[in-house]
A and B are shown apart, each in its own frame.
Chain A
């Protein structure tokens, strides 16, 4: 749920509402917020399934360190959704293992998790 007014922080900065897709379904989020925040606000908690045990993962650190939140964004796998700003028209998909070979340097660590 979004916090519409906070006793200390007041009313959140107004951001443009944009549409994106999550596993093909159209959803709404705020432009520039992390993709993970838009998903959480929309009630989505599972971001990926691990390759070995097919167990679900969601937001864990929210600062781009743990790689639990990676998804396939606009066709690119292993995107850390907690630090990736949402843009209109983004195609966000649940990641199963490492679906396409990663082109960026971040490696998905299983960390025994």
Chain B
């Protein structure tokens, strides 16, 4: 039996952060992960993260993963891959399967950071090849560079469904529709708006009736459900698709904790059965901790902080931290954690219908039902002002924990303030240079620059663009509105791809003046009519 000060199970953001924190305090740490590559969920996330600087906002998930790995290596953390932990016992012994061998280790402390597994739903034909989990779609396209299908229907409008839909579009697939049985979109409005403006329709209060095909998926039929989850006759809609992607939820993978004999509870807000923990993640078994999605489904940003707190608590338990050092360190971490757990998507607001923002702006029902704001609604929000000359138009309408837009602007045009969940405010007095840093930095891709005085009859609109092929300056095409509908002729007048933009290119399109507050996406081609 090999002994370590700390054994960490799972090398996702929570596990790696826990290991780094503990190793830096002097503990001898080993991390096991069942995958061939460490990083957990992070390596499939190719979008820019929310939060603020201390939460690594604006950095893409996979890059956060690489940073953590580097930190872990520097801290002297040992990471063992292709190693599934199959047993965890009361005395903090574990059984690990590496290839076909079973090995035993003992930790003076153990942190379980096994993350979550996808929950599933069943419908006629759900076992057909072509019905896949959202995680599988991400693994195929983002890790193995193979499209999971040509035309895909997404079930689930939470952040996972929305983010994976956008990723499918980036991988060159078509997304036929996003379907959800709930009456409102569950994820961030800005994630929904990104896919809506590409023309993906939302079907809320709808569910999959059947997947079609003899040997693999060739189509799908959806139907509307009433308040009692019964399908309403005559509302069936068919789509030709070759894949159906399920993004209906995640549940904590807490089996190991259960096996060890931790006290558990069923907690709907946390996504399932979770261990009962103290504020530092310690379970009912002294020296056994849980951190990240396994103790309640949240985000990578919170998982990293929870991991650090558990790592510090393990260091305290083994005497590597004094009570004082621990208190100071944890206070700092808890402040960072609580700033994330505010706003409309805070755990306590789960399932609640909110009708106004913290600022008192009405929440757009239209956004929650179709994925986009209407032109009349956008002026309700403090990020949208009528200003002469080039200026930012910020279509960010929900209180989400996020503020890279504020940090991006050296001219102080954008203010979020102390509370990072506040809506960004555009300052009419500050003078925008049109540098585009805010557009590229915005994790929600909801900032546009508009210049109504671009030319006599024409306005310029700057839009974030993360697709290939990249349009070229001089190219003529079509401007699309927020729903992805063709709006008017557009000419690409500039394409900017700077290193500082981190793979988000900025297209400047020229449209007729009256379209400046409607044109929000661009497509190559010739408009008919």
B260 on the interface (CB 8 Å rule)? no
B239 on the interface (CB 8 Å rule)? no
Question: In the complex, which of the residues B60, B118, B144, B503 has the most CB atoms of chain A within 10 Å of its own CB atom?
Answer: B144
Whether A9 pairs with B130 at a CB distance below 8 angstroms is no
Among B135-143, B363-371, B425-433, the stretch that binds chain A is B135-143
What number of A residues sit within 8 Å (CB to CB) of B? 33
A59 to B134, CA, bound (A): 12
**A3 touching B100 in the complex, CB below 8 Å, given contacts A62-B132, A65-B117:** no
Whether A6 pairs with B468 at a CB distance below 8 angstroms is yes
Whether B146 pairs with A60 at a CB distance below 8 angstroms is no
Contact check: which of A37, A59, A65, A83 meets B36 at CB < 8 Å?
Answer: A83
B118-168 interface with A by 8 A CB criterion: 118, 127-133, 135-136, 139-142, 144-148, 150
B270 on the interface (CB 8 Å rule)? no
Question: What 5 pairs across the A-B complex have the smallest Cβ distances?
Answer: A58-B129, A62-B136, A12-B145, A37-B144, A62-B139
Whether A56 pairs with B34 at a CB distance below 8 angstroms is no
Apart from A9-B145, A37-B140, list 6 A-B contacts with CB within 8 A: A1-B150, A3-B141, A7-B468, A8-B466, A41-B146, A62-B139
Contact check: which of A2, A46, A57, A83 meets B147 at CB < 8 Å?
Answer: A2
A12 to B147, CA, bound (A): 13
Whether B216 pairs with A8 at a CB distance below 8 angstroms is no
A64 on the interface (CB 8 Å rule)? yes
B66 on the interface (CB 8 Å rule)? no
A12-31 interface mask toward B, CB cutoff 8 Å, 1 = contact, 0 = none?
A: 10000000000000000000
A107 on the interface (CB 8 Å rule)? no
Q: Which residues of B contact A47 (CB under 8 A)?
A: 129
A47 to B142, CA, bound (A): 22
A101 on the interface (CB 8 Å rule)? no
A31 to B221, CA, bound (A): 38
A91 on the interface (CB 8 Å rule)? no
Q: Which residues of B contact A34 (CB under 8 A)?
A: 144
Whether A40 pairs with B467 at a CB distance below 8 angstroms is no
A63 to B467, CA, bound (A): 27
Interface residues of A (CB under 8 A from B): 1-3, 5-9, 12, 33-34, 37, 40-41, 45-47, 55-65, 82-83, 104-105, 113
Whether A5 pairs with B468 at a CB distance below 8 angstroms is yes
Whether B133 pairs with A61 at a CB distance below 8 angstroms is yes
A21 to B144, CA, bound (A): 20
B215 on the interface (CB 8 Å rule)? yes
Q: Which residues of A contact B128 (CB under 8 A)?
A: 56, 58
Whether A59 pairs with B127 at a CB distance below 8 angstroms is no
Q: Which residues of B contact A6 (CB under 8 A)?
A: 145, 170-171, 468
B387 on the interface (CB 8 Å rule)? no
Whether B503 pairs with A1 at a CB distance below 8 angstroms is no
Q: Which residues of B contact A1 (CB under 8 A)?
A: 146-147, 150, 172
A46 to B214, CA, bound (A): 11
Q: Which residues of B contact A55 (CB under 8 A)?
A: 127
B459-475 interface with A by 8 A CB criterion: 466-468, 470
B46 on the interface (CB 8 Å rule)? yes
B35 on the interface (CB 8 Å rule)? yes
Min distance, Cβ B262 to any Cβ of chain A, angstroms:
22
The residue on B at minimum CB distance from A112 is B122
Whether B145 pairs with A2 at a CB distance below 8 angstroms is yes
A55 to B128, CA, bound (A): 8
Whether B139 pairs with A63 at a CB distance below 8 angstroms is yes
Contact check: which of B127, B146, B215, B470 meets A40 at CB < 8 Å?
Answer: B146
Min distance, Cβ B199 to any Cβ of chain A, angstroms:
17
A57 to B141, CA, bound (A): 20
Contact check: which of B35, B97, B147, B503 meets A8 at CB < 8 Å?
Answer: B503
Question: In the complex, which of the residues A34, A45, A82, A104 has the most CB atoms of chain B within 10 Å of its own CB atom?
Answer: A45
Contact check: which of B100, B118, B150 meets A104 at CB < 8 Å?
Answer: B100
Q: Which residues of A contact B503 (CB under 8 A)?
A: 7-8
A33 to B144, CA, bound (A): 7
A9 to B128, CA, bound (A): 30
A38 to B36, CA, bound (A): 18
Min distance, Cβ A36 to any Cβ of chain B, angstroms:
8
A104 to B136, CA, bound (A): 24
Q: Which residues of B contact A65 (CB under 8 A)?
A: 117
Q: Which residues of B contact A40 (CB under 8 A)?
A: 140, 146, 148
**A59 touching B135 in the complex, CB below 8 Å, given contacts A3-B141, A37-B140:** no
Contact check: which of A12, A33, A46, A83 meets B215 at CB < 8 Å?
Answer: A46
Give 22 A-B contacts (CB < 8 Å), ordered by A residue. Answer: A1-B147, A1-B172, A3-B147, A3-B172, A7-B468, A8-B503, A33-B144, A40-B148, A45-B129, A45-B215, A45-B216, A47-B129, A57-B127, A57-B129, A58-B128, A58-B130, A59-B136, A59-B140, A63-B135, A63-B136, A82-B136, A82-B139
